[in-house]
């Protein structure tokens, strides 16, 4: 009985956290190359809206996802263009975009508010879903959940195990050194900045087509901001970031499940991640200054910020 | 490869970095480019490496004019630049930094090809660098060695050394130049940008002299050092007369220094110049910084402890800690002088700034940004910003990377001001600097201060023995 209950909760956490995981992985890739996509909240809202709208009109969930990914990519491309080509501060552009896109999603999304529409179907996998725990939690889900899990593994493998991933890291660490080695820094920044945005777009679509069906104003529950914090909390490592996303998702689910038991406390539970995040950021900073955590442990636990994160690259 | 610069011109705002420079460099030689700081040497070679685009003029390789230089095309052509600061990635490992941008670019890193290549070069040149270490754990000299290996491994046929020697220990330097000597025999061309005449005379076979953005002459070596200095400074080189009178005033001044667990009392006199010396990588690197920021340094005179607010600190990494790269000279002076008044009187600041530019001989206008200045001029700017009410001046490697004239100027200034200050403390890796300019010396070996005494009670050899940890030598 307890196991069944546990399996259900675990499955719910993994399912509900899928959009968060995708957004964190996408943002992590952008930030590793030095691009801060601060429009994350706005991007998620507008892509959630567009994804649902396109899927509703065409009847194809796949087309909804493609449209959302394209839009997410275009938004990130805009930030890249402003920063890489026009040398405009990317934080300012991202912040303005997040407000603009948020309002735009409410305006354009009016016809789609609270109407029934398509969603990502569950796929029946015979006998594999009978495996204890994993069967329920991972296998007996849909494509979006599988995609979110795959994105963690692929991003980790790419960043740490491939030469291209190393080049990506190098550009974020020091674009000037990378430039001196003949690497096309601007192209690399454009490419991964935009790719990260496209993944964020898919995260948006998986909100409206997977975790919270349909569209309503402010549909993504401010999770965009949370994801920005999780990326930092995860030390710009997709695996640690994903763990952060699951932890956050887990607390939301727990709060729902325990509503009847804890009464007042269940409203407090979803808030726990916020002070927790602030505390861990303080811990990261403090340990850096005071060295009370050995550097080795620290780098495993927290990871380093790309040295030129958010900087405008401009040759002399 | 033969390299020809043909009437290259490059401007930064009002500053002419290169004014119609024409130089031809023969294949298979070590060719030196010398000149004082701000003469335009770095700008010239950075055009060859593709980091700077010339406003006009052209560069030819083996008599073929190359159009549209970029860092990428420069690498394709086999041009490698070893800069003043290593162009690497602090948070990556040595092996990763070696790999980034390598021409043996396979998508998977699993192959041991690059590892073998690294180990081969490491042993050929006898550099002994651990590929698993993170870059930030290496000394500047070791980082430059990794950079050199990377350039060679990428098939560089022209190696440009843009004053990289400031970070090298003597042993590293001889290893690096041994490697370069061997390469010229294989047909490589080495361009050595330097202000150190000794290095130029020892290693180069020909030399181009630059002054204020123009090419003065190209000569075959050997030449007499005096002649080269004349050409570098336009024949107006005045033999600088440095005061070396030591301070004998016996005003009671006690300094308490804490360094790696030991507490040392120094009996100083007012107006003394205290020199801290050690090898690179020893405690001397961070000594002044710790003194300034922590409570590891307590200075007491007859009236009690001296307030920290009258301490002035000039860091070694000029653009990282000392100055604001994007701010102009005018902004810097406004910052350092209007502390206390909130509204800036720009006309007053401007006239003061112009005076200081003239007084300190800074090559630039009030509008020139700090990062556009050469190293020597950045140092002058930092000195010009030091308030007159500073009692304790702390200077980290004040002449790091400076030419002779700039360095002499800095020493002149410091010696002039030392009597009006309570104490001046500086650090250096150079025994001659310590020997010539300090009244009191602190010797570092590892993290420890192994000797601290008045300069009159120690010999130069003893200083060397102390910093080398060679205590037996001292007893003999």
Predicted pLDDT at B105: 62
Poorest-confidence range of A75-89, A274-288, B18-32, B189-203? Answer: A274-288
Choice between A199 and B461, residue whose per-residue pLDDT is larger: A199
Characterize the bridge pairing of strands B206-211 and B30-34.
parallel
Cα–Cα distance for residue pair A83/A99, rounded to 1 Å: 18
Select from A192, A244, A237, A238 the least CA-distant residue to A223. A244
Tokens found for residue A227: 């994801």
pLDDT interval class at B348 (50, 70, 90): confident
- Check if CATH label 3.40.50.300 holds for domain B253-475: yes
For A24, residues 6+ apart whose C-beta sits below 8 A from its C-beta are A227, A230, A231, A234, A238, A241, A242, A244, A245
Cα–Cα distance for residue pair A242/A227, rounded to 1 Å: 10
- CB contact (8 A) between residue A182 and residue B49: no
Please say if the pLDDT value at position B84 is more than 90: no
Please report the DSSP string for B27-89 in residue order.
TTSEEEEE-STTSSHHHHHHHHTTSS--SEEEEEETTEEEPS--HHHHHHTTEEEE-SS--S-
Cα–Cα distance for residue pair A34/A309, rounded to 1 Å: 4
Residue A162 and residue A170 in contact, taking contact as beta carbons nearer than 8 Å: no
pLDDT tens sequence across B235-251: 544 444 444 454 555 55
Please say if the pLDDT value at position B340 is more than 70: no
pLDDT tens sequence across B213-242: 889 889 888 887 778 877 876 654 444 444
Q: For B228, how many CA atoms within 13 A lie in the half-sphere containing its CB?
A: 26
Integer-rounded Cα radius of gyration of chain A: 20
Choice between B1 and A250, residue whose per-residue pLDDT is larger: A250
- Please give the CATH architecture assigned to the domain spanning B3-233: 3-Layer(aba) Sandwich (3.40)
pLDDT interval class at B346 (50, 70, 90): confident
pLDDT interval class at B376 (50, 70, 90): confident
ipTM of this complex: 0.83
Q: Is A304 on the interface with B (CB under 8 A)?
A: yes
Cα–Cα distance for residue pair A136/A206, rounded to 1 Å: 20
Scanning chain A, the segments in alpha helix (DSSP H) are 2-16, 18-32, 40-58, 61-80, 90-108, 134, 143-161, 163-173, 175-180, 185-206, 223-233, 238-257, 259-262, 264-268, 273-290, 295-301
Helix (H, G, I), strand (E, B) or coil at A24: helix
**Which class for A196: exposed (0-12), middle (13-18), buried (19 or more C-beta within 10 A)?**
buried
A44 Cα to chain B: minimum distance (Å): 32
Mutation target among A162, A166, A175, A181 for the B interface, most CBs of B within 10 A: A181
Choice between B67 and B62, residue whose per-residue pLDDT is larger: B62
Predicted pLDDT at A316: 63
- CB contact (8 A) between residue B51 and residue A180: yes
Q: For B139, how many CA atoms within 13 A lie in the half-sphere containing its CB?
A: 18
Q: Which residue has the tokens 């930064």?
A: B12
**Mean pLDDT value across residues B270-287:** 82
Polymer length in residues for chain B: 476
Predicted pLDDT at A291: 63
Residues of chain A with pLDDT under 70: 1, 284-285, 287-303, 316
Chain A and chain B share a number of CB contacts under 8 A equal to 76
Poorest-confidence range of B23-27, B237-241, B289-293? Answer: B237-241
Beta bridge partners of B5: B23, B59
Q: Which residue has the tokens 């406003």?
A: B55
Select from B159, B164, B218 the least CA-distant residue to B1. B159
Helix (H, G, I), strand (E, B) or coil at B264: strand
Burial B65-93 (b: 16+ CB within 10 A, else e): ebeebbbeebbebbbbbbbbbbbbbbbbb
Tokens found for residue A131: 């495996």
- CB contact (8 A) between residue B87 and residue A180: yes
Please report the DSSP string for B352-417 in residue order.
HHHHHHHHTT-SS-TT-BGGGS-HHHHHHHHHHTS-TT-SEEEEESTTTT--HHHHHHHHHHHHHH
For chain A, give every domain's residue range: 2-222
Cα–Cα distance for residue pair B397/A93, rounded to 1 Å: 41
Specify whether the backbone of B299 is left (phi greater than 0), alpha (psi in -120 to 50) or beta. Answer: beta
B445 Cα to chain A: minimum distance (Å): 24
pLDDT tens sequence across B314-336: 888 888 888 998 899 999 988 88
Predicted pLDDT at A293: 64
- CB contact (8 A) between residue B92 and residue A304: no
Residue B274 and residue B438 in contact, taking contact as beta carbons nearer than 8 Å: yes
Helix (H, G, I), strand (E, B) or coil at A294: coil
Please report the DSSP string for A209-226 in residue order.
IIIS-SB-TTTTTTHHHH
Please say if the pLDDT value at position B473 is more than 70: no
Characterize the bridge pairing of strands B79-82 and B158-162.
parallel
Where along chain B do the CATH 3.40.50.300 domains lie? 3-233, 253-475
Predicted pLDDT at B240: 42
A residues 161..200 contacting B (CB < 8 A)? 161-164, 166-167, 169-170, 173-174, 176-184
> Phi, psi at residue B348, to the nearest 5°?
-65, -45
- CB contact (8 A) between residue A163 and residue B105: yes
Most confident of A229-233, B398-402, B445-449: A229-233
Cα–Cα distance for residue pair A111/A56, rounded to 1 Å: 11
A174 Cα to chain B: minimum distance (Å): 6
**Mean pLDDT value across residues B172-178:** 85
């Amino acid at each position: 009985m307890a196991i069944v209950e546990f399996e259900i909760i675990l499955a719910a956490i993994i399912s509900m956290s899928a959009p968060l995981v995708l957004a964190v992985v996408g943002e992590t890739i952008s930030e590793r190359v030095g691009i801060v996509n601060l429009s994350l909240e706005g991007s998620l809202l507008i892509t959630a809206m567009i994804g649902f709208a396109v899927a509703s009109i065409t009847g194809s969930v796949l087309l909804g996802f493609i449209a959302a990914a394209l839009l997410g990519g275009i938004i990130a491309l805009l930030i890249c263009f402003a920063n890489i080509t026009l040398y405009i501060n990317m934080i300012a552009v991202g912040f303005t975009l997040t407000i603009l896109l948020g309002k735009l999603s409410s305006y354009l999304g009016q016809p789609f508010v609270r109407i029934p529409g398509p969603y990502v179907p569950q796929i029946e996998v015979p006998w594999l879903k009978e495996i204890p725990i994993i069967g329920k939690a991972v296998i007996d889900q849909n494509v979006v959940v599988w995609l979110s899990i795959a994105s963690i593994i692929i991003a980790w493998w790419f960043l740490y195990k491939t030469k291209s991933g190393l080049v990506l890291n190098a550009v974020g660490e020091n674009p000037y050194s990378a430039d001196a080695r003949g690497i096309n820094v601007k192209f690399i920044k454009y490419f991964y900045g935009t790719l990260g945005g496209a993944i964020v777009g898919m995260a948006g679509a998986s909100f409206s087509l997977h975790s919270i069906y349909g569209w309503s104003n402010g549909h993504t529950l401010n999770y965009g901001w949370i994801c920005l914090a999780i990326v930092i909390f995860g030390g710009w490592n997709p695996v640690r970031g994903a763990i952060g996303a699951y932890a956050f998702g887990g607390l939301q689910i727990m709060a729902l499940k325990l509503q009847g038991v804890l009464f007042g406390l269940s409203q407090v539970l979803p808030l726990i991640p916020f002070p927790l995040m602030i505390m861990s950021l303080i811990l990261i900073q403090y340990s850096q200054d005071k060295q009370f955590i050995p550097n080795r442990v620290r780098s495993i636990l927290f990871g380093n910020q790309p040295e030129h994160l958010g900087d405008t690259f401009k040759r002399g | 490869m033969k390299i020809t610069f043909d009437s290259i011109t490059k401007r930064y705002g009002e500053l002419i970095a290169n004014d119609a420079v024409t130089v031809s460099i023969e294949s298979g030689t070590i060719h030196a480019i010398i000149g004082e700081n701000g003469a335009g040497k770095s700008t010239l070679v950075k055009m060859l490496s593709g980091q700077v685009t010339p406003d006009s003029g052209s560069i030819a390789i083996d008599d073929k004019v190359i159009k549209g230089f970029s860092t990428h095309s420069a690498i394709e052509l086999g041009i490698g630049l070893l800069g003043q600061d290593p162009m690497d990635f602090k948070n990556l490992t040595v092996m990763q930094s070696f790999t980034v941008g390598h021409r043996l670019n396979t998508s998977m890193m699993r192959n041991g090809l690059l590892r073998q290549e690294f180990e081969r070069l490491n042993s050929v040149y006898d550099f002994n660098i651990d590929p698993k270490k993170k870059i930030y754990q290496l000394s500047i000299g070791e980082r430059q060695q990794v950079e050199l290996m990377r350039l060679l491994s990428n098939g560089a046929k022209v190696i440009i050394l843009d004053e990289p020697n400031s970070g090298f220990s003597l042993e590293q330097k001889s290893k690096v130049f041994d490697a370069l000597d061997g390469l010229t025999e294989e047909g490589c061309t080495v361009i050595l940008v330097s202000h150190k005449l000794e290095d130029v005379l020892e290693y180069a076979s020909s030399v181009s002299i630059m002054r204020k953005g123009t090419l003065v002459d190209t000569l075959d070596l050997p030449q007499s050092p005096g002649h080269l200095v004349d050409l570098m400074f336009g024949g107006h080189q005045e033999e600088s007369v440095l005061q070396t009178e030591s301070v004998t005033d016996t005003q009671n001044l006690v300094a308490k220094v804490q360094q790696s667990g030991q507490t040392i009392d120094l009996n100083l006199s007012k107006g003394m110049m205290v020199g801290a010396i050690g090898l690179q990588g020893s405690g001397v690197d961070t000594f002044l910084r710790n003194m300034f920021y922590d409570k590891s340094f307590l200075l007491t005179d007859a009236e009690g402890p001296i307030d920290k607010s009258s301490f002035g600190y000039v860091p070694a990494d000029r653009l990282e800690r000392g100055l604001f790269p994007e701010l102009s000279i005018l902004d810097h002076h406004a910052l350092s002088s209007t502390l206390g008044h909130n509204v800036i009187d720009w006309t007053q600041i401007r006239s003061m700034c112009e005076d200081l530019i003239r007084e300190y001989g800074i090559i630039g206008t009030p509008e020139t940004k700090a990062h556009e200045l050469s190293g020597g001029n950045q140092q002058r700017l930092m000195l010009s910003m030091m308030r007159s009410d500073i009692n304790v001046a702390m200077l980290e490697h004040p002449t790091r990377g400076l030419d002779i004239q700039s360095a002499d100027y800095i020493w002149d200034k410091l010696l002039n001001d030392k009597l009006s200050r309570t104490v001046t403390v500086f650090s250096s890796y150079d025994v001659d600097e310590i020997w010539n300019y300090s009244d009191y010396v602190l010797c570092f070996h590892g993290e420890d201060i192994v000797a601290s005494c008045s300069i009159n009670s120690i010999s130069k050899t003893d200083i060397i023995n102390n910093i080398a940890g060679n205590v037996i030598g001292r007893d003999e």
